[in-house]
Amino acid sequence: MTKRFGHRTALDGLDLDVPAGMILGCLGPNGAGKTTTIRLLAGLIRPTSGSAMVFGFDAADQYDAIQRRIGYLPGDFVAYPDLTGRQYLSYFAHLYGGVERKRIELLAKRFDLDLAVRIGALSRGNRQKVGILQAFMHEPELLILDEPTAGLDPLMQREFRTLLRETRDAGRTVFLSSHVMSEVEAVADTVAILRAGQLVTTQSVQDLKDRAADLEAAFLDYYSGQG
């Protein structure tokens, strides 16, 4: 895929496969094209050339065919401030074709989120939890998550990682972006590194661990173009 915004090239011929049943972590410096990739996969924007195929459907042109099968968490998650978490999630549950209320309540309990509070009155991390529930509650086959742990405290990050592993172990697929190599290392099976709109490398996390004595240093080399 190539995506241009005016004269600016956000993605420059990106060719990437996300294997089913895996967690793929997408890393890269600011402006590398991670969010653009995610928005293309989620069918929110159209590539300038090329295509994003999800379950064999064109994500932008055949969005209706994939909508209920994906869970999307935007990087800048914002929700209607006047609704409570419960009202907001019920609305989306309806759009998704129905979600068991019990499942929403269980997820909320797990993340220590009070669904009776107005979203506008929640802290940033607690708002992010509403976004996480929205993405996961209908148990989609593919999760597309833009910096999902932003704002979460360490305990909640740990809970979120457990949820990701359960999701993968249930045979579902996760594509997530992150700035934090240690986060990707902790959960992902595969890492894709973008730089300046291009794919620098895709590698299994285990391979990287085996090869690099200092993983953080290896990643920084990739980031800066030395790798």
- For binding to ligand ATP (CB under 6 A), which residues are involved? 5, 8, 10, 28, 30-36
Residue with Cβ nearer ligand ATP (35 or 87): 35
Q: What is the 3-state secondary structure (H, E, C) of 16-65?
A: CCCCCCCEEEEECCCCCCHHHHHHHHCCCCCCCECCCEECCEECCCCHHH
Which H or E run includes 176? Answer: strand 173-178
Q: Provide the minimum distance between the beta carbon of 121 and ligand ATP in the complex, in angstroms, as a whole number.
A: 27
The CB-of-68 to ligand ATP minimum distance in angstroms stands at 25
Least separation, in Å, of the C-beta of 16 and ligand ATP? 14
CB of 212 to ligand ATP, least distance (A): 22
Least Å from the CB of residue 45 to ligand ATP: 8
- Which CB sits closer to ligand ATP, 33 or 43? 33
Distances, alpha carbon 115 to alpha carbons 8, 57, 149, in Å = 41, 35, 19
> Is there a contact between 27 and 184 (Cβ–Cβ < 8 Å)?
yes
Which of 5/80 has CB closer to ligand ATP? 5
Amino acid at 92: F
Alpha carbons 74 and 135: distance in angstroms, whole number: 9
- Tell me whether residue 28 or residue 74 sits nearer to ligand ATP (CB atom): 28
CA distances for 138 relative to 25, 61, 118, 151, 162, angstroms: 22, 23, 22, 23, 17
Q: How far is CA 227 from CA 92, 177, 223, in A?
A: 43, 20, 8
Nearer to ligand ATP, 89 or 135 (CB): 135
